[in-house]
Structure 1
Amino acid sequence: MSSPGTGCCWYAGLFRASNAVDGRKSNLRLWGGQCAVSSLGTTATWWVDLTSINSINHITIYFRTDNKPWGIVIFTKCSSNIFTKFVLGFSVYVSNTTDRLQGTLCFKDDKFTLDTIPAVFTTICPVNGQYVIYYNERLPGATYPDVYSASVFIALCEVEVYGCPASGCFSSNNTSPSPDVNCLYCHIETSTFRGCKPGYKGHRFELGKITDE
């Protein structure tokens, strides 16, 4: 269901990529068996295949924390968790392929610091796609903030994707079939139909007007 990318090295299944989509997030330690963890590299890529094009609303990521708080300790002015610097600068994409550059950039971190980056991160991304891709990099020759790590790795304990589980979604909970048979997808945020057949134009609808039977 999920696949490692460049720079990933998985050990005997304990840190396998699918750990990040198994629904478990009670133990965020390295050896807790609930996190996808890779070796260090210049790039780090993780993706989940939703098996079909879905209408996505938002994505929530639980980072590996080793069950320690994130942020700056006031008295020492040092980070209380060594993993924050490896997460800074990350990106989240939604794509119809495993190539992030062919998809939509949902979020690119260029503002978080060691004391502001959340251990549980949520981004709104109302787009249609089959793959949700997490990406980070420390490319040779590129300049990064001093607080960034010199290399990156995957440290994801859970990635939750929310939205409609099928094409043609409709209604406030995004599960009812679309009343427009000529358009495949609805845009949850703008309330318009997309992916229409040639010659058809999606109209606007009101979420919540149609309810499940």
Structure 2
Amino acid sequence: MSLYFGVGLLAFASAYVNIALNKPANLQHPLIPDDNTHNASNAVDGRKSNLTWNGGQCSASAARETATWWVNLTDIRSIHHITIYYMVGQRPWGSSNLFTPSFLGLSVYVSNTADKLQGTLCFKDNIFTVDTIPANLTITCPIHGQYVIYYNERLPGVTYPKGYSSFAQSDLCEVEVYGCHTTGYNGLNCSIPCPNVNCQYCHIETGTCQGCKPGYQGQRCDTVCPYGFF
């Protein structure tokens, strides 16, 4: 079962490239430290033919109050959408699956640092149940950032909805981040320069400027900053 969030995503799904492939990744609470069988990088290695526990293609975390996994895109990139493939185990996906409850309540952030609080919340699950959460989820998030962060929590003293697991985990088999390798461009094939010459970041679909090059300001990035400022 899969699910898409965002109007018009299907038309774009095959055009952008996976800019997270083989990028550095990190897992907050590794299930077994220094064990390559389930390390963080498994979730960005391009393999997703075996989404089971012992398939050797997934990252796995210990059950804790918080669960964080992130990928470093190595530079600020223009992102269109993010697709997450969960570990599914051997049982059919749904209420009878042992992994399903741990994904409920998940959040996805895009940030310029590894700190999610300095970034933008792209998605927060407050709608799914163990019967409706998809085994892979695609989130439209047209934004710029260097880190894509998966986060979940089961904090003490907080009452969570029925079906939620007692602890949080980040058992992810693949996280694909689709967008442009180079900033300053937009469009389906990332081939259209931002409309303003001094615009460093523009909306990946519309081309609307979202950030000026150093030394410029204004909606069109056509105003020079005062001397000594940027």
Fold conserved between structures, TM > 0.5 = yes
Runs of 4+ in 1 over 4 A off after TM superposition: none
Q: Give the drift of 1:89.
A: 0.3
1:88-99 to 2 correspondences below 5 Å: 88-99=104-115
Give the secondary structure class of the aligned counterpart of 1:3.
strand
Identity of aligned residues (%): 58
Q: 2:152 maps to which residue?
A: 136
CA separation of 1:173 and 1:68: change in aligned 2, threshold 3 A: farther
AA at the equivalent of 1:58:
H
1:66 has 2:89 as partner: yes
Aligned to 1:23, which of 29, 39, 46? 46
Q: Give the drift of 1:180.
A: 3.2
Q: 2:64 maps to which residue?
A: 41
Give the secondary structure class of the aligned counterpart of 1:14.
helix
* 1:1-21 Cα distance to aligned partner (Å, 9 max, x none): 00112x333352110100000
* 1:57-84 Cα distance to aligned partner (Å, 9 max, x none): 100000000254312xxxxxxx231111
Using the TM superposition, name which of 168-177 and 31-40 deviates more.
168-177
1:10 has 2:32 as partner: yes
- TM normalised by structure 1 equals 0.86
Q: Given that residues 186 and 206 in structure 2 are in contact (C-alpha distance below 8 angstroms), is that contact kept between their aligned partners in structure 1?
A: no
* 1:152-208 Cα distance to aligned partner (Å, 9 max, x none): 1111000000111111013321245445330111212443022114234338xxxxx
Structure 2 regions of 5+ residues with no counterpart?
A: 1-23, 222-230
Q: For residues 205 and 78 of structure 2, what CA distance do their matches in structure 1 show?
A: 10
Give the secondary structure class of the aligned counterpart of 1:59.
strand
Q: Given that residues 8 and 44 in structure 1 are in contact (C-alpha distance below 8 angstroms), is that contact kept between their aligned partners in structure 2?
A: no
AA at the equivalent of 2:92:
P
Q: For residues 30 and 175 of structure 1, what CA distance do their matches in structure 2 show?
A: 40
Q: Give the drift of 1:26.
A: 0.2
- TM normalised by structure 2 equals 0.80
Q: Give the drift of 1:117.
A: 0.2
Q: Given that residues 27 and 67 in structure 1 are in contact (C-alpha distance below 8 angstroms), is that contact kept between their aligned partners in structure 2?
A: no
Aligned residues: 195
AA at the equivalent of 2:62:
S
Aligned to 1:100, which of 104, 112, 116? 116
